[in-house]
């Protein structure tokens, strides 16, 4: 009887350790990536950042929805946040101008993904660097923007 107790308990303990180890590895391996805002990119990517701020329309995208807010319902206005802010509706993403002002425009992380781990490690594998047209189509699709020609930005560099 005592042998069965240790066997059953041992199996449960091993399963618990395995489960907890998986959670720890997931968090350690980047499962907890969060948004940091484009300003965090400037120290290592100053030229790209300056070009992005000067030439990319999305660097000022919150202004676009602010100017249209008057003609929208609150639900319609909030729907704009998905493409015109950084990480809206995702863990650590834009919540409001007051809570997360650094994420109010569509910034670097909209295309390259949450940057917290990359900022910490500076490892290029911790951020998405090779972008394709498919990456842009989450926002730039025929349902949302029929006449917007974004492909030159991909091939010429959006920053």
C-alpha span between 75 and 40 (Å, rounded): 30
With DSSP H G I counted as helix, E B as strand and the rest as coil, what are the percentages for the chain, rounded to 5?
60, 0, 40
CB-count exposure of residue 79 (10 Å: 0-12, 13-18, 19+): middle
pLDDT tens for 54-104 read 888 888 899 988 988 888 899 999 999 999 999 999 989 999 999 999 999
pLDDT tens for 13-26 read 444 343 333 333 33
The pTM (predicted TM-score) of the whole model is 0.72
């Amino acid at each position: 009887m005592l042998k069965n107790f240790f066997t059953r308990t041992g199996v449960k303990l091993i399963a618990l350790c395995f489960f907890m180890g998986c959670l720890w590895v997931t968090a350690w391996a980047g499962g907890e990536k969060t948004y940091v805002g484009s300003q965090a990119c400037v120290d290592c990517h100053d030229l790209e950042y300056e070009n992005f701020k000067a030439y990319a329309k999305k660097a000022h995208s919150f202004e676009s929805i602010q100017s249209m807010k008057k003609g929208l319902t609150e639900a319609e206005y909030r729907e704009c946040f998905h493409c015109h802010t950084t990480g809206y509706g995702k863990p650590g993403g834009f919540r409001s101008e007051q809570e997360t002002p650094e994420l109010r425009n569509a910034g670097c992380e909209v295309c390259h993904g949450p940057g917290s781990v990359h900022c910490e490690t500076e490892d290029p594998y911790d951020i998405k660097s090779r972008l394709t047209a498919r990456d842009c189509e989450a926002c730039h699709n025929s349902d949302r923007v029929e006449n917007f020609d974004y492909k030159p930005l991909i091939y010429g560099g959006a920053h």
